[in-house]
Chain A
Amino acid sequence: MNAALGTAGVTLGLAGAVLGVVVLAVGLNRRRRALASGQEAAGAEALLHLGRPFAWLVLAGAVLATVAMEIALVTHDFSLTYVAENGSRATPLLYTVASLWAALEGSIILWALVLAGFLAAVAHRFRHQASDPLVAWATLTMLAVAVFFFALMLAPANPFTTVAGAVPADGPGPNPLLQNHPLMAIHPPLLYLGYVGFTVPFAFAVAALVTGRLDEGWLAATRRWALAAWGFLTVGIVLGAWWSYEVLGWGGFWAWDPVENASFLPWLTGTAYIHSVMVQQRRGMLRVWNLSLLLATFSLTILGTFLTRSGVLDSVHSFTESPIGPWLLSFFGVVVAVILGLIAWRGDRLRAPGRIDSPVSREGAFLANNVVFAAFAFVVLLGTVFPLVVEALNGERLSVGTPYFNRMTTPLGLALLFLMAVAPALPWRKASGELLRTRLQWPAWGGAGAVAGAVLLGARGLAPLLAFGLGGFAAAGALRQLALSVRAARRRGASVVAGLVGRSSGGMIVHLGVVLVAVAFAAASAYLTGEEVRLVPGQSATVAGHTVTYQGMNPPAETPQKTVFSARVQIDGAGVYEPALNRFPNATQTIGTPSVRTTLTDDVYLTLVAMPEEPGDPALIGVLVQPLVAWLWIGGGVMALGTLLALWPGERRRRVPASPAASPAEERPAGEVDDADDAGGDVPAPAVVGS
C-alpha cells in the first residue's frame, strides 16, 4: 500500500517534470519562431504559463512520496526494504521521522521534496512573468534537474522496493549515531535547503546564457534566493559541526572529513559568488566569473553527493553505499559540459565593458576575496580527491588529513579575515591614502587591542594571535559600518532598527558572526588540553585548571531503544555531568554520549572511555578542555541573523520607485558616499519583469 502510494508519487513527479520540460521547450520554440516571423506569440505564451501547473504537479508527487515514506516509517511497515533496513519499533518517534534522511534512498526523497518546493516557489513568485523566456528557461532547467532526481528514485535508488519473502517483524533502526541527538532532525533538512536552494540561481544563470540576456536582470531576480540558500547552507554546516561535537565523542567539531568538505565546498564558492555578484551589479563586470561560480556551486553539490554517497571515499559519515555513483557522476559531467558549452557559445556577449581602476578599491577587494575563496575551495577539493587520484595513477594509497588542511587553509583564512576588515571601508573605484587612514584607524586599533589583550591573557602562538588580531580588526570594521548605518538612519528620522536592516548592514552582521566563528575555531583548536584519567569513585583529577570528581556509575538505564551506562562526574565541585556509553540492541560497538559543561569561556568535555568492571572499580574518563567553543554556535546564530536582516526588504524596496532610474544616492550619509548600501540590488529590476 505504502509502496504503491510512494511509487505513484515518484511517477507523478517524474511525469510532471518530463511533461513540463517538453511543454516549456515547445512553447519557447514556438514563441521564438512566431517572433522571428513577426506573428502573434500568444499561443506559445499560453504554453509557457503551463510551467506553473507542472511545477505544482512535481511538488504534489514529491509530497506524496514523502508522506508515503513517513507513514511507512511511523507505522513500521517493514514490507518496505527501506523501513526494514532503517526502522525499528524501539526507535523513538522523532528519530523514526528523521529516518527519512538516515540512508541514501530516503535522502533522495528529501532532496526531491526540497527541489520541488523551490520549483513551485519559483513558479509562484514569477507567475506574472511566466511568458518571459528567462523565467521559462529557468523553470525548464529546474524541471530538468527534477527529472534527474525523480529518475534516480525509480531506478538505482528506489526507496519503495519491497522486501523479498516474509515481512520481518522488526528492523535494526537507523545507525546508532543517527539516533543519538535531536540535531539529527534538523541538520540534514537545513543542509539540503542550502544545497538545493542554489539550484534557483543556477537555473537563472542557465536561462540568462540561453536567452542571451546577460545583463544584471537575472542577478537581481535571484539575489534573495542565493542569499537564502547560502544562509541555510551556513546554518546546516554549523549545526553539523555541533552535532558531531555533541555526538561523536572526540571533542572536535570539524575534521576535514570528505562529507564535511562536500558541504563546505559549495559554501566557499557560494560565498565568493554573493560577494563578486556585487561587482557585476555595480559595475557590470565579472560576468563569466559569476556564472562560473554558480556553476561551481551547483556542480560541487552534485560532485560532493557523488563522492560521499558512492563509497569511493572513506568517511565517518558514509552511512550507506549504493550504485548511484555512476549516475551522479554522469549528471555532474552533463551539467559541467552544458554550462561550459553555453559560456563558450555566449562568449562574445559576456565580454563586459569597463575596468577596475585600482586594486585598492571595493571591487579590487572583492577580486582578492574571490581569488582567496577560489584557492580555498581548490585546496579543499584537491585534498579531498587527491587520495583517489594517486590511487588511480599508481595504486599507492595515501591519506590527506587534518594536518594538511590546517596547514594549507590557515594562511587563506587569515587573508580572508584581513580582507573582511579592510574591504567594507574601501570605496568603489579608487581609495586615497588619506581616506583609508581615517576609515581604518579605529578598526585597526580594535585589532591591535585584540592581539595585546590576548597576549596579556596568556595566549601564545603566531597563528592564533594573528587570527585574534585580524578578527578584532574585522569586527571593529563591521561595527564601524553598522554605527554609520544606524547614524544615517537616525538622521533621516528612521529607527535604529532601520539602520540594521538591508543588504549592507545584514552583511556586516554576518561578518561579525564569521569573526566569532573564526576566533572560536582558532582558540579551540590551538588551546585544547586533553587527558584520559582513571578514577575510582570519590577520586578527583585536575585537567587545565578544572577539577573533575568521579562519583560512581548510575544503574544501567534500559529502554527498548538502547541501554545507557552513565557515570556521574562532578566538575569544579559544582554541577554533576553524566557521560555515557550506549549499547544498541543491534550494534556490536558501544556508542559514547559525551557530556559537556559549556560556559562562555571554555567547555569541559567528558567522555566515558571505559566502564568499570565492578561498581567500585576505576572508570576511564576522557576530559577535554577547550576555550571559546560556545562562540562557534553563537557565531553561527549571528550569521543566520545577519542573513535574515540582509534578506529583509529594506526601505528602498518597499518605497515604490518613481522611475527605474531613481537615484539611490540621495540616501547615502554625507562623507560616506561609497559606504552606503549597494542599492542596485534592492531596486526591483524592471528588465526581468518586462520584455
Chain B
Amino acid sequence: MTARRWLPWLGLALVVAVSLVVGAGGRGGPPTDAERKTALASELRCPTCRGQSVRDSDAPAAAAIRTEIDRRVDEGQSDEEILAYVDSKFPESLRLTPPASGLGVLVWALPVVALVAAVAGLAAAFRRWSAEPLPAPSDDDRALVERARSTGP
C-alpha cells in the first residue's frame, strides 16, 4: 500500500534527476569564441546611446567596441583582460553588471535581505497563528450556522 503510494513519486523524482543531471551538466566544455564575443558585448553599455548594450546597438561607437572585442578574443585574450582594457579606455564604467563592491553591494544585497526578512516575518506570523487557540464560537455564530442549515439546499 505504502509502496504503491510512493512508487510513482520515486519514479518521477528519478526522471527529473536524471534529466537535470544530463541536461545541466552537458554544456560541452568551455564557451566558444562566438559565445564569448556575444557575452562580452552584452556586458557593456554602448557609450553613445541611451540604455542599449554594445551588443544591441547599431551605433558606430558600439560597432567599434564590438570590433575590438572580436579582435582581442581572436588574439586569445581572456574575458577579464578585455573588460579591463575597455575599462581603461573610458572615463566611466561601461559595465552593465553593477560592481559587487562599494555602494554597488547594496543593489545585490538589498533584495536578498528584503526577501529573507519577508519570509522570516511570514514564518513568525504562522508560528503566532498556530500558537493562538481558535476563538470559541459565539451564540451569534451558532445561530448563523443554524439559519444557514435550515435554509440550505
Q: Give me the interface of A with B, judged by CB distance under 8 Å.
A: 248-250, 252, 255, 257-258, 313-318, 355-359, 367-368, 371, 374-375, 378-379, 382-383, 386, 390, 393-394, 396-404, 408, 437, 441, 444-445, 447-449, 451-452, 454-455, 459-462, 465-466, 469, 530-531, 589, 592, 609, 659, 661, 663, 666
Q: Give the total of B residues in contact with A, Cβ under 8 Å.
A: 60
| A530, B37: Cα distance in complex, Å | 10
Q: How far is the CB of B150 from chain A (nearest CB, A)?
A: 12
Inter-subunit contact B153/A663 (CB<8 Å): yes
- Beta-carbon contact of A371 and B119 below 8 Å: yes
Q: CB of B22 within 8 A of chain A? A: yes
Question: Would you call A255 and B23 a contact (CB within 8 A)?
Answer: no
Please name the residue on chain B nearest to A393 by beta carbon. B103
How far apart are the CA atoms of A649 and B120 in the complex, in Å?
40
Q: Contact: B38 with A437, CB < 8 Å?
A: no
User: Which residues of chain A have C-beta atoms less than 8 A from B98's C-beta?
Assistant: 386, 398-400, 404
Q: B132: CB under 8 A from chain A?
A: yes
A461 with B50: CB separation less than 8 A: no
For this complex, 11 residue pairs linking A to B, each with C-beta atoms less than 8 Å apart, are: A250-B52, A314-B51, A356-B125, A371-B115, A401-B96, A445-B12, A448-B12, A460-B23, A460-B26, A462-B24, A465-B23
Contact A469 B16 (CB under 8 A): yes
Q: How far is the CA of A355 from the CA of B95 in the complex (A)?
A: 47
CA A248 – CA B15 in complex, angstroms?
41
Q: How far is the CA of A452 from the CA of B125 in the complex (A)?
A: 39
Give chain B residues whose Cβ lies under 8 Å from the Cβ of A250: 52, 55-58
Question: Chain B, 56-96, contact with A by CB distance < 8 Å: what is the 0/1 string?
Answer: 11110000000000000000000000000000000011111
Known: A386-B107, A394-B103, A663-B152. A461 touches B96 (CB 8 A): no
- Closest B-chain residue to A663, C-beta based? B152
Bound: A367/B55 CA distance, A? 39
Complex alpha-carbon distance, A121 and B5, angstroms: 55
Bound Cα distance A178, B2 (Å): 64
* B86 CB to nearest A CB, Å: 13
Residues of B within 8 A of A444 (CB): 9, 12
Interface residues of B in 119-153 (CB under 8 A from A): 119, 122, 125-126, 129-130, 132, 148, 151-153
Q: B147 to chain A: closest CB distance in Å?
A: 9
- Residues of chain A with a CB closer than 8 A to B122's CB: 359, 367-368, 371
Q: Is the CB of B107 within 8 A of A383?
A: yes
B91 to chain A, nearest CB (A): 9
Q: Pick from A356, A368, A378, A398: contact of B99, CB below 8 A.
A: A398
- Further 18 A-B residue pairs, CB within 8 A, beyond A257-B51, A404-B98: A249-B58, A255-B52, A255-B56, A257-B52, A258-B51, A315-B50, A316-B50, A318-B50, A355-B129, A371-B122, A378-B111, A386-B107, A390-B103, A404-B107, A448-B19, A451-B20, A461-B23, A663-B148
- The reply to whether A316 and B51 contact each other, CB–CB distance below 8 Å, is yes
**A402 and B115 contacting across the interface, CB-CB below 8 Å:** no
Q: Which residues of A contact B152 (CB under 8 A)?
A: 663
B114 interface contact, C-beta 8 A: yes
Decide if B97 touches A255 in the complex (CB within 8 Å).
no
| Chain A residues whose C-beta falls within 8 Å of the C-beta of B93 in the assembled complex | 397-399
Nearest CB in chain A: distance from B103 CB, A: 5
B53 close to A401 (CB less than 8 A): yes
| Nearest CB in chain B: distance from A632 CB, A | 17
The answer to whether B9 touches A448 (Cβ under 8 A) is no
For the complex formed, measure the closest distance between the CB of A190 and the CB atoms of chain B, giving whole angstroms.
23
- Name the interface residues of B1-47: CB closer than 8 Å to any CB of A: 5, 8-9, 12, 15-16, 18-20, 22-24, 26-28, 34, 38, 42-43, 45
Residues from chain A with a CB closer than 8 A to the CB of B58 are 249-250, 592, 609
* Residues in chain B within 8 A of chain A (CB atoms): 5, 8-9, 12, 15-16, 18-20, 22-24, 26-28, 34, 38, 42-43, 45, 49-53, 55-59, 92-99, 102-104, 106-108, 110-111, 114-115, 118-119, 122, 125-126, 129-130, 132, 148, 151-153
B23–A379 CB distance below 8 A: no
Given A451-B20, A465-B20, A402–B107 Cβ distance below 8 Å? Answer: no
Chain B minimum-CB-distance residue to A532: B66
Decide if B23 touches A400 in the complex (CB within 8 Å). Answer: no
**Minimum C-beta distance from A244 to chain B (A):** 10
Residue among B20, B92, B132 with max Cβ neighbours from chain A (10 Å): B20
- Known pairs A382-B107, A437-B9, A663-B153; A356 contacts B96 (CB<8 A): no
Chain A contacts for B125, CB-based, 8 A: 356
Contacts of A394 in B (CB 8 A): 103
B107 partner, pick from A252, A400, A530, A589, beta carbons under 8 A: A400
Min CB distance A482 to B, Å, is 22
State whether B56 touches A315 (Cβ < 8 A).
no
**Shortest distance between the CB of B32 and any CB in chain A (Å):** 10
A609, B62: Cα distance in complex, Å = 13
Once the chains bind, are B96 and A371 in contact (CB under 8 Å)?
Answer: no
Q: Is B24 touching A465 in the complex (CB atoms < 8 A)?
A: yes
Known: A255-B51, A371-B119. A465 touches B45 (CB 8 A): no
- What's the Cα separation between A530 and B35 when bound, in Å? 9
Contact B114 A398 (CB under 8 A): no
Q: Are B126 and A356 in contact (CB under 8 A)?
A: yes
Contact B23 A397 (CB under 8 A): no
Taking CB atoms, residues of chain A closer than 8 Å to B126 are 356, 358-359
Q: Please name all residues of chain B whose beta carbon is closer than 8 Å to the beta carbon of A357 when the two chains form the complex.
A: 129-130
Known contacts A315-B51, A401-B53, A444-B12: A355-B24 contact under CB 8 Å? no
Q: Could you tell me if A375 and B23 are in contact, using CB atoms closer than 8 angstroms? A: no
Question: Which residues from chain B contact A445 at a C-beta distance below 8 Å?
Answer: 12
Nearest CB on A from B24, distance (A): 4
Shortest distance from the beta carbon of A297 to any chain B beta carbon, whole Å: 19
Q: Kindly list chain A residues whose C-beta atoms are within 8 Å of the C-beta of B153.
A: 663, 666
Residue of B nearest to A661 (CB): B148
Q: How far is the CA of A589 from the CA of B58 in the complex (A)?
A: 10
Q: How far does the alpha carbon of A248 sit from the alpha carbon of B104 in the complex, in Å? A: 30
Q: Do the beta carbons of B107 and A448 come within 8 Å of each other?
A: no
A408 to B24, CA, bound (A): 19
**5 nearest interchain CB pairs?**
A401-B96, A250-B56, A462-B24, A355-B129, A455-B23
Residue of B nearest to A591 (CB): B58
Looking across the interface, which residue of chain B has its beta carbon closest to that of A453?
B19
Q: Which of B8, B22, B130 contacts A455 (CB 8 A)?
A: B22
A401–B45 contact, CB under 8 A? yes
Whole-angstrom distance between the alpha carbons of A467 and B104 in the complex? 29
- Which listed residue (A249, A375, A460, A589) contacts B111, Cβ 8 A? A375
Chain B residues with CB under 8 Å of A455's CB are 19, 22-23
How many angstroms from the CA of A393 to the CA of B111 in the assembled complex? 20
- Which of these, B23, B49, B99, B102, contacts A459 with CB under 8 Å? B23
The chain A residue with its CB closest to the CB of B70 is: A532
Cβ of A273 to closest chain B Cβ, rounded Å: 17
Q: Which residues of A contact B132 (CB under 8 A)?
A: 355
Closest chain A residue, CB of each to CB of B115: A375
**Contact B23 A451, beta carbon cutoff 8 Å:** yes
With most chain B CB atoms within 10 A of its CB, the pick from A447, A451, A589, A609 is A451
Q: Would you call A252 and B20 a contact (CB within 8 A)?
A: no
Q: Are B53 and A402 in contact (CB under 8 A)?
A: yes
- Which of chain B's residues have a CB closer than 8 A to the CB of A449? 15
State how many angstroms separate the Cβ of A391 from the closest Cβ of chain B.
10
What chain B residues lie within 8 Å of A397 (beta carbons)? Answer: 92-93
CA of A382 to CA of B115, assembled, Å: 13
The answer on a CB contact under 8 Å between B111 and A379 is yes
Q: Which of A318, A403, A452, A530 contacts B19 (CB 8 A)?
A: A452
